[in-house]
């Protein structure tokens, strides 16, 4: 086991979750239908989510992670709470800066999000930000200030699906037991409920014409890679006068990054790698909600599907370039 971990190092894991210790997590269903269904999280899992110390580092060794890029479990909250949580995350990662990096938790208001991203990137050296999306979420109205800020400081913005709400649980429950509902709601919801519409809305509203250097990471790509031919067909039916200047495929290849979180087997991995340039794929394990990924990377390495250089890109080089290559430029602009 030790030999395998060493042979795979370094894996930079780009989508690893935590929960702020002060966030109230009940063990019972909330009466607030809009509240995230955090009661589905088991006590052992909750402990791992809250831990950013030695226990997490020990698990990282077992998973072959040389570094984790942390983001808060997606919830909807205000600017003041985001600031509080980001400050606490910064204090925690200072204890292990060589092992942990952070994405800033951003509010749903574009102006507030831009202000918080600037603060976290310049003062605390966060490597990007996270916006959360769910049913009815719009990222193209009022978010130009955030996209401006992300371009200015040359940091990516990750897009994560909101945790299911208490009100959404009814669509999972039917006549199922609670032991069946929990994995369906927590894994199917984020991994396979992700719609391509937010990306299409961003594209069709010409966001990438206005922000050609904006880089978005879709943390749970789900079926997005396999839908590429379908999306191109849909766009072909829209009059050219109503389309952005940049072709969709150009945006897909230059502005979008996808993680490997939803990859469960080698065939799914191949589909992902065949539908987007190799330098746009980021390894992620979804720790601690899932503690896998190393075995998949081992199988990918042994398959011969990628060259050694290409494997290194997926494992760690792409993340290193995306999150840290522009550090010098950021310092000059602060």
pTM of the model: 0.90
Pick the residue with more confidence: 331 or 170? 170
Sign for the pseudo-dihedral over CA of 80, 81, 82, 84: positive
pLDDT tens column, 187-201: 777 666 667 888 889
Sign for the pseudo-dihedral over CA of 306, 312, 315, 316: negative
* Residue 201 structure tokens: 């809305």
pLDDT tens column, 64-92: 999 999 999 988 889 999 999 999 999 99
Strands 129-133 and 157-161: parallel
Pick the residue with more confidence: 263 or 236? 236
The predicted pLDDT at position 134 comes to 75
pLDDT tens column, 247-279: 999 999 999 999 998 887 888 888 889 999 999
Asked whether residue 110 carries a pLDDT value surpassing 80, the answer given is yes
Query: For the residues of 120-135, what is the DSSP string, one character each?
Result: HHHHS----EEEEE-T
83 near 116, Cβ under 8 Å? yes
Tell me the CA end-to-end span of the chain in Å, nearest whole number.
Answer: 44
Mean pLDDT of 161-169: 77
* Residue 285 structure tokens: 């394990």
Cα separation, 209 vs 289, in Å, equals 36
Average the pLDDT over each of 97-106, 143-152, 158-167, 175-184 and give the range with the smallest value.
175-184
The predicted pLDDT at position 166 comes to 73
Asked whether residue 3 carries a pLDDT value surpassing 80, the answer given is no
191 near 262, Cβ under 8 Å? yes
Count of positions (residues) in the chain: 334
pLDDT tens column, 193-222: 667 888 889 999 999 999 999 999 998 887
The predicted pLDDT at position 1 comes to 38
- Name the residue with tokens 């398959």: 303
What is each CA distance from 174 to 171, 180, 184, 276, 317, in whole angstroms? 7, 11, 12, 38, 44
The predicted pLDDT at position 188 comes to 72
Phi-psi region of 36 (alpha: psi -120 to 50; beta: other; left: phi over 0): beta
Helix ranges (DSSP H) in 140-280? 144-153, 170-173, 178-183, 189-192, 197-204, 207-210, 228-236, 248-254, 266-275
- Is 308 buried (19+), middle (13-18) or exposed (0-12) by CB count in 10 A? exposed
217 near 159, Cβ under 8 Å? yes
Mean pLDDT of 141-163: 92
Phi-psi region of 99 (alpha: psi -120 to 50; beta: other; left: phi over 0): alpha
Average model confidence (pLDDT) across the chain? 86
- Is 122 buried (19+), middle (13-18) or exposed (0-12) by CB count in 10 A? middle
Cα separation, 275 vs 247, in Å, equals 16
Of 301, 91, 131, nearest in space to 214 by CA: 131
What is each CA distance from 149 to 64, 130, 185, in whole angstroms? 33, 13, 34
């Amino acid at each position: 086991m030790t030999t395998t971990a060493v042979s795979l190092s370094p894996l930079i894991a780009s989508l690893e979750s935590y929960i702020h210790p002060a966030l109230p997590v009940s063990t019972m269903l909330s009466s607030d239908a809009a509240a995230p269904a955090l009661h589905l999280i088991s006590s052992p899992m909750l402990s791992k989510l809250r831990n950013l110390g030695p226990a997490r580092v020990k698990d990282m060794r077992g998973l072959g992670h040389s570094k984790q890029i942390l983001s808060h479990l997606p919830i909807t909250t205000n600017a003041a709470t985001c600031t509080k949580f980001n400050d606490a995350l910064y204090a925690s990662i200072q204890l292990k800066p060589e092992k942990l990096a952070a994405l800033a938790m951003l509010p749903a208001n574009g102006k507030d999000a831009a202000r918080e991203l600037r603060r976290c990137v310049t003062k605390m050296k966060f490597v990007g930000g996270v916006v959360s999306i769910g049913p009815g979420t719009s990222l193209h109205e009022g978010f130009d200030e955030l996209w401006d800020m992300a371009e200015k400081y040359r940091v990516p913005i990750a897009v994560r699906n909101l945790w299911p709400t208490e009100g959404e649980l009814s669509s999972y429950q039917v006549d199922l037991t609670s032991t069946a509902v929990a994995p369906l709601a927590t894994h199917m919801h984020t991994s396979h409920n992700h719609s391509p519409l937010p990306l299409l809305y961003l594209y069709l509203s010409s966001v990438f014409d206005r922000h050609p250097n904006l880089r978005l990471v879709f943390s749970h790509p789900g079926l997005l890679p396999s839908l590429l031919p379908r999306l191109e067909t849909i766009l072909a039916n829209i009059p050219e006068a109503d389309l952005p200047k940049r072709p969709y495929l150009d945006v897909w290849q230059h502005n979008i990054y996808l993680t490997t979180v939803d990859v469960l087997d080698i065939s799914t991995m191949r589909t992902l790698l065949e539908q987007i340039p190799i330098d746009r794929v980021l390894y992620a394990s979804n720790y601690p909600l899932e503690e896998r990924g190393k075995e998949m990377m081992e199988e990918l390495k042994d398959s011969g599907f990628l060259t050694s250089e290409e494997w290194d890109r997926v494992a760690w080089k792409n993340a290193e370039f995306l999150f840290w290559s522009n550090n010098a430029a950021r310092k000059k602009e602060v």
